[in-house]
A and B are shown apart, each in its own frame.
Chain A
Amino acid sequence: MSAVLDLVTIVAVSAGVFFFLAGTVGLLRFPDTLTRLHALTKADNLGLGLVALGLLPQAGSLQNGLKLVCVWLLVLLAGATVSQLVAQAARREGSSS
């Protein structure tokens, strides 16, 4: 059983790392602020979700597991809020220049 859980951890965390890498590659390769924001918010949120999911079997207690889920949800909330504000500012700057 613990081998199966360890396998879940390895697969999910590796997938999470892949999406963090994809987000970073997008950040470096995409042409402007707005497209880079897409790369960061979408890929990193999924990456963090997968890392949190992969760590759940290793959490040891229900409280630690719920804490991991809360971390992901708070980052989602922050990402969803801040990305809009940055996008608004970038659009205003783009239209005024």
Chain B
Amino acid sequence: MIGTVGEHRTVQRAAIVRAVLLFGFWTILAGVGVADLLVGVGVSALATRVSLHLLPATPRRYDPVAAARLALRFLRQSVVAGLDVARRAFDPRLPLRPGFVSYPARCPPGLFRSAFTAFTSLQPGTLPAGSDDGGIVYHCLDVDAPVVSQLATEEVALSGVVRHE
């Protein structure tokens, strides 16, 4: 159980991490002149408040090694997805077997599922198109491809990044 002290510390930690990240983002966009930094402090403080309002702090932690591995996997899969589309688009016979596949996701609807659908929308051959009782509905370029097992692998890879405490 999380007491109020623990909750306070969670919010405090999330606020500091987000403020630092947003301020870093600001310096990339605006530069590091004195005036830029002064405005940046105000803007990132405001953005942190909005961020905590829209996405409240939770005591979850992220595993940086798993995140780096996921990022590499994402880059590799992006190349595969791009090549796959290019191959189909340039093929005179237009090899498509489009259709819908329902994926019984293990994650409940919520933030993690949104991250999962965003992630898989950039994977080869799959495009999330809403949900039904069974799970997430995917539109596929080739319904004969092993879409469900591919998605299950992605779900495991993504869930490794978040550690619940």
Contact = CB atoms under 8 A, between A and B. Distances in A.
B89 to A, nearest CB: 4
A88 B121 CA distance: 12
B86 A83 contact: no
Chain A interface size, under 10 / 10 to 19 / 20 to 34 / 35 or more: 35 or more
Interface string A9-38: 000000000110011011001111011011
B160 interface: no
Contacts of A83: 121, 127
Interface residues of B, number: 34
Interface in A33-49: 34-35, 37-39, 41-43, 45-47, 49
Give the residue among B81, B82, B96 with the most A Cβ atoms within 10 A.
B82
A38 B85 contact: yes
B52 interface: no
A7 interface: no
Contact of B85 (A31, A43, A79): A43
User: Which of B25, B85, B90 has most chain A Cβ within 10 Å?
Assistant: B85
B77 to A, nearest CB: 10
Contact of A22 (B29, B89, B139): B89
Contacts of A19: 82, 86
A46 B141 contact: no
A41 B31 CA distance: 31
Contact of A35 (B79, B98, B128, B137): B98
Interface of A: 18-19, 22-23, 25-26, 29-32, 34-35, 37-39, 41-43, 45-47, 49, 63, 66-67, 70, 76-77, 79-81, 83-84, 87-88, 90-92
29 contacts: A19-B82, A22-B85, A22-B89, A25-B89, A25-B90, A29-B89, A34-B127, A35-B139, A38-B85, A38-B125, A38-B139, A42-B78, A42-B84, A42-B85, A42-B122, A42-B124, A43-B82, A46-B79, A63-B27, A70-B25, A79-B122, A80-B118, A80-B119, A80-B121, A84-B128, A88-B129, A90-B129, A91-B130, A91-B137
Given A38-B139, A45-B82, 15 more contacts: A19-B86, A22-B85, A23-B89, A30-B89, A35-B96, A42-B122, A66-B28, A67-B28, A70-B25, A70-B28, A79-B121, A81-B118, A84-B117, A87-B127, A87-B129
Interface of B: 25, 27-29, 31-32, 78-79, 81-82, 84-86, 88-90, 94, 96, 98, 100, 117-119, 121-122, 124-125, 127-130, 137, 139, 141
